[in-house]
Homo-oligomer: A and B are copies of this chain.
Amino acid sequence: MTQVFADISMSLDGYITGPNDSVDNPLGDQGERLHEWVFGLKGWRARHGMEGGRESRASELMEEAFSRSGSFLMGRRMFDAGEQPWGEEPPFRGPVFVVTHRAGAEIAKRGGTTFSFVTDGIEEALRRAKEAAGEKDVSVAGGAAVIQQLLAADLLDELQIHLVPVLLGGGVPLFAALPGLRELEPTRVIDSPAVTHLRLRPARRADPTR
């Protein structure tokens, strides 16, 4: 059955960007520090059309996430920040559904990536992403708001946090705006030299509307 999973890098103090993030500075100050661990990996480089790189458990994790993804879900802000840097051949290579208030025609890029803009809410966007994923899974690309909405609505099956041992002192928190106790079950912990990869299964709540 199609699983909905999110994979995201977070600082030890809980941020997914550095301070002072904006459209022009989407990672925030020093936010690139959260992503350095992936740039040298063979799995990441191959997906981005580059040769070489390290083979490691972290690289395998990256390849695992890419290969299970039949479609992608992301917020508008992430699309706006990424559109330019991703270029003409974005790394998704599959259908991407963008949750937004602004309608727009589908954009098709080289390599199989399409961006569809869904204006009738996250649940509808997720329904379409699941349909497009077929036998594969839906990868939630972010940002924090989308992950929070899915967690709050009990729609996320798996959360993989790449915990980077750095304190950023500010930025966009992954978990803000989620009142009430939520339990998660660790299903796998992998310790790579510079990052701890925590795979968690959010517990279903008796009443997700509370």
Contacts and interface: CB of A to CB of B under 8 A. Distances in A.
A186 interface: yes
A170 B173 CA distance: 12
Contacts of A191: 186, 189, 191
A167 interface: yes
A5 to B, nearest CB: 16
Contacts of A165: 183-186, 198, 200
Interface stretch (A49-57, A97-105, A106-114, A174-182): A174-182
Interface string A1-30: 000000000001110001000000000011
A198 B184 CA distance: 18
**So how many copies of this chain end up in the complex?**
2
A149 interface: no
A14 B163 CA distance: 12
A128 interface: no
Contacts of A46: none
B180 A166 contact: no
A169 interface: yes
A175 to B, nearest CB: 4
Interface in A49-108: none
27 contacts: A12-B161, A12-B175, A12-B184, A12-B200, A13-B173, A13-B174, A13-B175, A14-B14, A14-B173, A18-B181, A33-B181, A163-B163, A165-B183, A165-B185, A165-B186, A165-B198, A166-B184, A167-B182, A167-B184, A168-B181, A169-B175, A169-B181, A169-B182, A186-B191, A189-B189, A189-B196, A191-B191
A12 B183 CA distance: 10
Contacts of A185: 165
A193 to B, nearest CB: 8
A208 to B, nearest CB: 14
Contacts of A183: 165-166
